[in-house]
Each structure stands twice: as C-alpha cells, then as structure tokens.
Amino acid sequence: MTHEEYKEAIEYWQKKDAIGKKLSREALLAAMEEYIQSNNTCALATGSGTFVRCTPIEYSYHDSSFWMFSEGGLKFFALERNENVCLAIYDPYDGFGKLDGMQVTGMAEIVEPFCNEYLKAATFKKIPLQVLKKLPSPMHLIKMTPKHIDFLHSAFREQGFNARQALDF
C-alpha cells in the first residue's frame, strides 16, 4: 500500500462517523454497559516498544472500570512500562448483518493486594478472602479505566442509527 492508501484506510471510520447518526450519550452508555455486563471475557492488549501481547482474560465491570485478576504472565512486562492498554470484547461471527463487539482503550493500573479496592473487587467476583490469602504468591489485580470505546452493534441499524458508535470518557 502507498502512504496515501494507508491514510485513506486510517481515516475510513473517522469520515463515516462524522456523517453518521449517533445515539444520545446516555442511550449509548446504557447499551455499552449492557453489552459489557452480558460478557465476561476479553482480549487484553498490552505493549512496550517492540513487545506486544494480547491475553484472553476474564473480567468484571463495576465502578466504571474493568477488573481482571491474574496470576502473572508476560502482560506484566508491558504493564510495568506502559499503562496504555486496549481490550476487545466480541461475539462469535454469525454473518455480516449480526456484528457485535467493542474495542476499549484506556489506562491500566495494578491494584495493591488486599487494599480496600482489591478487597471490593474480590468481593464483587465472589472470591473468598481466605482463598486469596492462602495462595503461594499474590493474585494480581489489573484495573482498566476506559478513555474511549468503539462499539459495533448491528441492532443499532434497526433503530435508525449507525451500527458503529464511539464514546469518549
């Protein structure tokens, strides 16, 4: 591809979004939260320099953030160096007219084990505190605060809106 072709591809959704019919912020946020709550697994992308990692991981969503417990892994190499992350939630492909998925960009932080926020997340996930305390090494908690969400939901078309909607926080 030429530079111009790359630029055109990059700007595709920006141009389409500029002229598309949008839901109200409140309606879009409600639809996004419903979709997030109807799922529990995402692909968490982390990166630093030339290192990239995309990890399938279970999440919970509350207090306007994603919460992910993890034993460890290479994602922490990037998280130590770069707090910018992206996660994707999506349904299995079932035809072009039935697309549902979202891409969430935001900031990640590691929550200190057994602090109030950590305990609240464990309680929300119904993980007993005594189980966490018995582990040979602490279960790490990643908190991801969304900054931007792109949501593709084919049902929006039936309501007269663009299937793709975006929201900044």
Closest Cα partner for 29 from 88, 104, 119, 125? 104
Read off the pTM: 0.92
68 within 8 A of 59, measured Cβ to Cβ? yes
pLDDT in tens, the chain (169 residues): 999 999 999 999 888 888 889 999 999 999 999 999 999 999 999 999 999 999 999 999 999 999 999 999 999 999 999 999 999 999 988 877 788 999 999 999 999 999 999 999 999 999 998 999 999 988 999 999 999 999 999 999 999 999 999 999 9
152 within 8 A of 76, measured Cβ to Cβ? no
CA dist 104 → 56, 120, 146 (Å)? 14, 23, 6
Closest Cα partner for 141 from 121, 123, 116, 168? 121
**CATH superfamily to which 3-168 belongs:** Electron Transport, Fmn-binding Protein; Chain A (2.30.110.10)
CA atoms within 13 A on the CB side of 41: 6
Amino acid identity for residue 114 in this structure? F
Closest Cα partner for 39 from 123, 124, 100? 100
Could you tell me the residue ranges of all domains in the chain?
3-168
